[in-house]
A and B are shown apart, each in its own frame.
Chain A
């Protein structure tokens, strides 16, 4: 390890370059040559690229650990500057460098391992899952590119570089959601994800502008160093919310001008902007709507991008900039409230969905909400721990669902039907490995004691219950106000808002409710999919299956080209005929499942918060502590008696698990699903509302989208009417009219052209023969002028001032310029005679008027003269 550090010193740790370059190379090779390389080579390239990246990431992690041990504290960063990228100009002309610089510290180190590790497993899984797809190479090109972008996002040492990765993963997400773009719905889902993310990106860009302005830096260390200037009591240095940007309303708009402008601190503005970005990427209210639709992509994509890695970027961002967020407790509370609300809302929707991937999608949204709840309440370690464990169990769940769909596809070729849990059932017997891994991951997500999800979710809920947010600058600032006062009270820039202490308790109960629902719907998924009787098609012994069916079965074996646009083999089979039972997936798909399930079960050991009283260490918390220590110290305050609440909180979380799972067992196993039907019939409207996902999409359609549509229609009519109709047509008409007139002159007869030439030459000759008396007056000041005549070949001039004596004989010997003095207020006339080389004389008269001068100027002049004499 020492030799590794001697090759890669911590200031120039170029091993990061290998971590990044390997997936990029894989994407390049597969993208450019993939079509000709064939499936085997594409698979080799893609998996090798990620494996190399994962190996380098492991080495990096070990080196980082070594450095941390060596330094004795956790503020260690291994950094590598690829090159200086560009500079931007900050306040008072300071140059802010934006380097292409990557760094790895405790937080990004863990993320990096998750991305490459889970990424590797999912690549292996996908190499079999996607085998029959005709765009195999394209899939792995995108997937490698995604890993690269995600690594840029995580390893980037400054905000713009994070943004590059942020956009890169957004692009790959879009490409992979719409991977089977032949179906309109898939393409639409890709666009939806892309556009929802763009709204979030707007917030991220605003945050960058504010960072440049207020902190004068864009790299993490610089932002941290300059974060003090984000909180000020001076109104002028705060962000003006109304009037926007600190303007003034005048005239008839004056009633809009408040007595004193509404301002928020820069920390609040930055926090809200970052939060907008995070809600977009991490699928939180109000921008969560894209994630459920994103399940249109291939299942490994759902596992890697839309469950394990990309969607956690928002939580990563908040953890990364925790020192900014704690400066604005109001924003922290907003993060927590949004998280809890999303966790609850998504869980209610997941209760009634029938599509296995849809349930998992809403479950992801819900779990992301838990993470937001954690980081919003200042429990950064707990929130991030949930990112970590969620990556394993949710990836495993998605891959398990993929395995199930793969099995169902043997005879049901329609996507939606193959994913419908009402067609499944009893798969436990036919797909034992899938069943057990799915069960273990479900145990983790529902919080079965001692699994990874139990520890991480419990930690979040415990921290939510026992902490209250405080303002780190409370002493420096003025008066604390309530939320209502902060909006409508007498405004004073030194007032600050701190969320009330009961917020944590309230959010805890929302979280418990969401956790209960999670336990219920996940148990429902397991029971409907793996228990009971198989409902997909009639099962029969092989002897009952005729030769044709057997051949079709072989043909469909491992065929997973769902969503393909060719549709040739999408003939629906007669499911009432007996057929083979669904079979277990091949080994490259089950091995990742097993590994992920092992992690899902045991990853909790990294941070068993509940068991610390039994003397177990908390490696992850210890590992991440240096990053969050300062923020937690100033921004979060543990309630009194927090230690004693731990067991109670755990009991609550365990209760949620027990109630949810027990209820699901009673409804779907003991009562065979009868109560679920009764409830749906008892409250049909509510059931329909949940099934329609609270009709949020429809609400957006009616409000935002129709507004945009109306705007687009207006623009179209203006374009068609004004631009096309008037501007373009009028110009064309003018040109055509001139053309018609000029065309008449174009007789095509040579003699007419010759005649025109003669006329033109005669005109030119006349111009040269006649003299041109012309000139302009130059003012020289204090009444002096000079008339300058236009020059010409062989010209002679005679100047005659009006009233002056005329000479006896006219001699054209004068110069081209004639000096003249005019008293103020007077006018003089000058006659100019010009004779040219042909002896022809022309005449022109100039009139020069001097403006009346202001009297005092003359007085001073006179006084000076008098003094001199």
Chain B
């Protein structure tokens, strides 16, 4: 009772020790595999072959990375090409998703019109949408649109992002309508209101959507596996499946695979670390009522 309610405390107190003890096994299980990948990625060949396997890297080297970037896979393209494709498709996906979600979120939050409820309900239902469940019809639609073997097939399927729209809309709900009214009276069109007033205010929500969209685009193998035959257009996440699966059991392959995992994961983690306070600010409004 009395003082003991200390959620989100200001400073450390001996009472908190039990919580640190509770969390430490979980934190260790979460972190150790990731630390292990970091060590593994920097191991030179002789340490990869060391028996018994050692957790720590004694003489870190960039061998695995250079081998990964220079080794061509079966189709003779170097990893650098796949990395470039990944960066380009991810960048385009994130930018387009932000624009699409922000404009739709603004309309759904601040405008009244026929059909609005229906759209909001559909989006809410689509929060639980599982893209892999409809892989077959998505394949047929891509084919029907003539997007087979096109770079756009990396991007288009990811652009409508129900969670993104949902978070942006919830966030815009917090923006006072009077502020937008004032701008309208000053002669701003809806587009002006959106780009000059709403977008700057909802930066935290946009940062969050950017992270989620980055994650799904950067990790996506759907298009490379199913929609694109031309090796030149495939992405790094796909390339990883070719490095890791056939040679997965070979020890030298494991070093390269670990380096590849790092390339996949580090951008995600850095982005999240940079934006984490904005993300927390956004998800605080994420409740479904």
Q: Do A and B come from one complex?
A: no
Interface residues of B (CB under 8 A from A): none
